[in-house]
Amino acid sequence: MNKTDILQTARQCRHYAMCKIDFLKTGICPAAIDRPFVSFFPQGRMDLFSGVYERRIPVTKELVHIVESCNLCGICDKQCHFVTGLRPLTVMKGLKEYVQEFLDKGNVPEESKPDDFLIALQTITGQKWASSDPAILFPYADDPCPATPFTMPRYVVMPSNSSEISEIIKLCRREEIPYAVRGNGASVIGFVMSTGLVMDMNRMKGIRFDEKNWCVYVQPGVSAFETQKEAVKKGYRVNAAEPSALLCANMMCSGIFSNFSHSYGILADNYVNAEFVDHDGNLFNLNQFDAPNLFSNDKMGRKSPGVCTEVGVKLYPFPEDEEGLIVPFSDMEGALSFASELGRRRIGNAVGVLGGEYLSVFISPTEELARRIKRFFSGTLGIKYAVLVVADTYDRKIIQEMEKVVISQKLLSLLILGLADLNGNESLSIIEEYVGDREPYEILCDGEILPLLELLIDSSPESLAKAVPEDLEGFYKDLYSRPEMTNMVWLSMFRIISSRMGRYKHPVAFVLYVPMDNIALIMEIDSEFKRIGDIHHIHNDYGFITPLDMGKRGVYEFDFYVDPTDDADRRNCLNAMAEAVEMIESYCGGANGVKWIQSVLYQGFCRSENLLYLD
Amino acid sequence: MINRQEEEKGLLFITGASGFLGSHLAIELAKRGYSIVGLIRPLNGLSGEERLRRIGRLLEADFRILSRISVVEGDMTLPELGLGKDLYHELSRSVTEIINCAADTSFAKKKREVVERINVYGLENLLKMATKSKCSFFHQISTAYVSEKTSGICKEELTSPKKFTNAYEETKCRAEHLSTNVCHKAGIRLNIYRAGIVCGESRKGRTFRFNGFYYPLKSIHRLVESFRTNLLEKDGEKARKMGVRFVEENRLMLPLTIRVTENAGINVIPVDYFSRMLIKIMDVGNQGGIFHITQEKNCPLKDLIEYTRKYFHIEGLNITLDGSPEGPIERIFNLYNEPYLPYLQDSRVFSSENTMQLRDEKLDDRFTYERFKICMDYAIKADWGKTFKG
């Protein structure tokens, strides 16, 4: 691969930080274990390749050290391919070659000299945890959101506890250095850039269970995946966002929502207590009498209350007989009505109405397969929307009485492992050629014919692995031999496949809270998003809706997709975003129950009722 | 009775000229020297002309024959048949006879609106043209299955059943009444031709529509192929679990029991027989009337099942008169063939006195195993229509 092709791969890094968590049991990049600055992770080295190749940063001693720390083990290739389809190993190799060529030519790497502020930071944290070296700073300067300008910080620091954070904040105030806190060193909406100091919380990875009080306290470097993993080991579950997102960062930003918000709620429903360091460097927690009132909601937005240093999130029990199922629909109205009904009847622990795009992209290990499967699901089977439900035996029975047609866990596993065989399978012509009154998916979902489908579809880890590049076949075969990889409950809890939504292009997500008792309004908003996306030539699609608070409200996402490395696409997306914001604001101002996620920015600790029901 | 051959052959306007019956008829009439204008919708990016050309190639129609069919692109469901004012008026001035072959033959309830739009409202538009034109003879293609479901014989007369099997039967019945009323008022002679279930040509089995009686057979073929693959190319365990296995002489045991009623049978006629009979009736039966173009006797379902066993080398395919429990194979068969199942329990028999009176040659219309085999050979070769784009 030539350098231009490598650059193209490097620039496509989505900054989802999935290489920072061990979500596939491959282990994480060994280079990052000693000093987990983003630069030591594959994500950071993808940026560093662009940086040095485009001569935006010099080759420094630190860069040489970062490059040498990579042993080309290939873990990144497996992890990244699973999520984005990218093969970062070529970039890791390219970066090594670039630096080697630089050194072979007799060039001497630069050495950055510490200034007084850096020395002060290093005094607080220890020398190796604060840096002003461009090789450390560069991966904190950019993200894929088209509205985010490149913003190079002057310093990056990794504190290890609240006291250090307090001292750092006081130092920043004294020296008038602006600062931002970044969760997993990733941001996809550009709120955590700073021209001054970036605090990376990855050293603060403490997890403390208080089982008697159904609570787990996590420090700001702990990801949703890590929290869920530890909780599940003890027989509990937490309501968690995307796996690489850090829980504290999530709460600080806009609160946590997931399909489990159907029963566990959002915002303040999810935590017991939280600890902060405020902008003066003082510690407080939310159960303190004189703590700032973070339970209120100001729809005009509010300033961050400080740095969240620990959050106690609720633990939930889950029944052993829980299973997932999918109820397919040929139209949005039917799917939303059904989800709303589940809310009203308190059925299921997790509910999400997925669009055809999400469904096919999530379950497909490659983009090419996702496109084919979307055509198969939507065109051949007539599945345009799918209501995913995680429920116990009793609720599943009720659902089957409500809607006769369901994709059971068994059928979904069969379909996922048979994806590579689904489209173009001659034996399935019988479904493609069906001309009767039922939706074709009704035939597929008929429980009685499952044995026949098992015969018709070549469904196995080996079969699925045929869809990926040959050198990854063995890895995928082993991976999909693990039952959790097709288990709807596990996948809903750990959410490791939802990041695939960024595989084709980076999604710019618009999240709204909507009234579930006004489905016509939701459909109108959805068509408006689509209209705007279409006129600006931006790939766009409905994302999901999860009913909240007994189906009275819902959290809804619509996505515009952009290639941040394509100037025309970026421009179109920015224009579409501007028009979409106007549209959203007009609905928020005029339609009851519509709130934009901007209304909870930095207010993730507020009461859900204050957001959902107070104008 | 006037013999058509003694009359001057005028200009025939055929709707649905790219359809299964319409195309066969148009080509057959062209062969006999008629001047024809065929109404064809452009479809799937193909012009009307191209669609007819492709069908002509499939049916091995000579270029000179096809050149006698002028194609006009239009749509029966649109005002002025979608032809545009000038062409509409020009045709109205020159057309002397109209054959309405355009129809939607879907059985699904969800297609009702489309079926009604074409079969009834489209016909209204066409009749409007007929009344404004020089048309003196209107030919309406219908189905024998518009008749009441009785245990007796269905006669060649207008009928008003209280119940229909599907929207197709119902709309074709309405179309018969509509064309009768309008033609009567306008003084246009009307022939209604009620076809049985039309299959491919008698000698080569050629067709490009594989619905009707083909549809359930297609599902059996797909199942047989899948089970054979599983048994021959894989370990066959899943097939055996469903009771499917090879028995002697490479025959497949396929445990599939199909529910039928006593005396159930289907009335299948080859498309070339249909065309020849229709033209014969047109030629000599020009006083107007209703004509069944059907088999004298139905093909009993038990015979059809026997043909199927023999052709596909299967055992275990049985019929039952009462409901028996469904296994996965019955389940998929019944789900897939839901719209066609009523015809497996249909015992309507059709008289064809009017037609027989005009028939001056003995046509072999029996649906024998040989004829079944010809149809199946062609269907499988054509992969049930997948290879034809027209």
From CA A404, how far away is CA A378, in angstroms rounded? 19
DSSP one-letter string for B36-103: EEEEE--BTTB-HHHHHHHHHHHTT--HHHHTTEEEEE--TTSGGGGS-HHHHHHHHHH--EEEE---
Kindly provide the b/e burial profile for residues B224-259, where b requires at least 16 CB atoms within 10 angstroms of the residue's own CB. Answer: bbbbbbbbeeeebebbeebebbbeeeebbbbbbbbb
Calculate the average pLDDT of chain A. 94
A462-466, A504-508, B261-265: segment of lowest average pLDDT: B261-265
Token representation of residue A213: 């009080």
Task: List the single residue in B108, B229, B242 with the smallest CB-CB distance to A435.
Answer: B108
Token representation of residue B253: 């045991």
Domain identity same for B186 and B63: yes
Provide the pLDDT for residue B1. Answer: 43
**B390 pLDDT more than 80:** no
**Closest CA relative to residue B272, chosen from B320, B192, B202:** B202
In a domain, B368, yes or no: no
Token representation of residue A404: 């006769």
Q: Maximum distance among all alpha carbons in chain A?
A: 77
State the average pLDDT over residues B338-352: 88
State the average pLDDT over residues A274-292: 96
Cβ contact A430–B239 (<8 Å): no
Report the domain count for chain B.
Answer: 2
From CA B72, how far away is CA B36, in angstroms rounded? 10
**B325 pLDDT more than 80:** no
Domain identity same for B258 and B334: yes
Task: List the single residue in B106, B327, B331 with the smallest CB-CB distance to A446.
Answer: B331
DSSP secondary-structure letter at A138? G
CATH of the domain at B64: 3.40.50.720
CB A44 within 8 A of CB A38: yes
User: Tokens 């204050």 appear where?
Assistant: A610
Which three-class secondary structure state does DSSP give residue A246?
strand
User: B-chain residues within 8 Å CB-CB of A448?
Assistant: 326-328, 331
**Closest CA relative to residue A354, chosen from A381, A329, A372, A337:** A329
Pairing of strands B153-154, B349-350: parallel
In a domain, B314, yes or no: yes
CB A249 within 8 A of CB A587: no
Please give the backbone phi and psi of residue B208, each rounded to the nearest 5 degrees, phi first: -130, 10
Residue B149's pLDDT band, with cuts at 50, 70 and 90, is: confident
From CA A21, how far away is CA A223, in angstroms rounded? 8
User: B-chain residues within 8 Å CB-CB of A454?
Assistant: 238
**B167 pLDDT more than 50:** yes
Task: List the single residue in B107, B230, B326 with the smallest CB-CB distance to A448.
Answer: B326
In a domain, B179, yes or no: yes
Provide the pLDDT for residue B231. Answer: 93
Task: List the single residue in B109, B223, B331 with the smallest CB-CB distance to A448.
Answer: B331
Residue A234's pLDDT band, with cuts at 50, 70 and 90, is: very high
Provide the pLDDT for residue A316. Answer: 97
Cβ contact A436–B211 (<8 Å): no
Provide the pLDDT for residue B248. Answer: 83
Boundary residue ending a domain (B195, B230, B248) = B195
Domain identity same for B51 and B126: yes
Mutate to test the interface with A, among B230, B336, B340, B384 (most CBs of A within 10 A): B336
In a domain, B284, yes or no: no
- E strand or H helix at A352: strand A350-355
From CA A49, how far away is CA A96, in angstroms rounded? 9
Cβ contact A435–B219 (<8 Å): no
In a domain, B331, yes or no: yes
**B3 pLDDT more than 60:** no
**A427 pLDDT more than 80:** no
Sheet containing strand A155-157, edge to edge, reads A130-131, A155-157, A197-200, A179-182
Domain identity same for B164 and B237: no
CB A102 within 8 A of CB A32: no
Domain identity same for B94 and B219: no
Domain identity same for B67 and B121: yes
Provide the pLDDT for residue B2. Answer: 45
Domain identity same for B142 and B233: no
Residue A470's pLDDT band, with cuts at 50, 70 and 90, is: very high
Kindly provide the b/e burial profile for residues B141-173, where b requires at least 16 CB atoms within 10 angstroms of the residue's own CB. Answer: bbbbbbbebeeeebbbeebebeebbbbbbbbbb
Give residue-wise pLDDT tens across range A191-207.
678 999 999 999 999 99
Give residue-wise pLDDT tens across range A150-163.
999 999 999 999 99
Nearest chain B alpha carbon to A445 = B332
Task: List the single residue in A427, A436, A446 with the smallest CB-CB distance to B108.
Answer: A436
Domain identity same for B110 and B221: no
Domain identity same for B184 and B250: no
Task: List the single residue in B106, B222, B242 with the smallest CB-CB distance to A451.
Answer: B242
Q: Which residues constitute the domain of residue B227?
A: 214-263+301-344
**A78 pLDDT more than 90:** yes
Say if A456 is an interface residue toward chain B (CB within 8 Å): yes
From CA A505, how far away is CA A502, in angstroms rounded? 5
User: B-chain residues within 8 Å CB-CB of A430?
Assistant: 219, 222-223, 332, 336
Q: How far are the Cα atoms of A101, A104, A271, A316 from residue A97, in angstroms, in the given order?
A: 6, 10, 48, 50
In a domain, B75, yes or no: yes
Provide the pLDDT for residue B283. Answer: 84
Q: How far is A471 from chain B (nearest CA, A)?
A: 26
Token representation of residue A59: 């080759």
Domain identity same for B123 and B30: yes
Query: Which percentage of chain A shows pLDDT scores above 90?
Result: 83
Task: List the single residue in B106, B239, B338 with the smallest CB-CB distance to A455.
Answer: B239
Which three-class secondary structure state does DSSP give residue B299?
strand
State the average pLDDT over residues A5-18: 93
DSSP secondary-structure letter at A57? S
Residue B6's pLDDT band, with cuts at 50, 70 and 90, is: very low
Domain identity same for B256 and B177: no
Q: How far is A405 from chain B (nearest CA, A)?
A: 13
Cβ contact B229–A435 (<8 Å): no
Interface of B with A (CB under 8 A): 106-110, 211, 215, 218-219, 222-223, 225-227, 229-230, 238-239, 241-242, 326-329, 331-332, 335-339, 384, 386
State the average pLDDT over residues B102-128: 94
User: B-chain residues within 8 Å CB-CB of A446?
Assistant: 331-332, 335
Cβ contact B332–A429 (<8 Å): no
In a domain, B150, yes or no: yes
In a domain, B389, yes or no: no
**A468 pLDDT more than 70:** yes
Domain identity same for B188 and B327: no
Give residue-wise pLDDT tens across range B133-143.
989 999 999 99
User: B-chain residues within 8 Å CB-CB of A427?
Assistant: 222, 225-226, 229
Say if A404 is an interface residue toward chain B (CB within 8 Å): no
**A587 pLDDT more than 60:** yes
Say if A448 is an interface residue toward chain B (CB within 8 Å): yes
Task: List the single residue in A437, A443, A455 with the smallest CB-CB distance to B110.
Answer: A437
Give the number of residues written for chain A: 615
Cβ contact B242–A437 (<8 Å): no
**A262 pLDDT more than 60:** yes
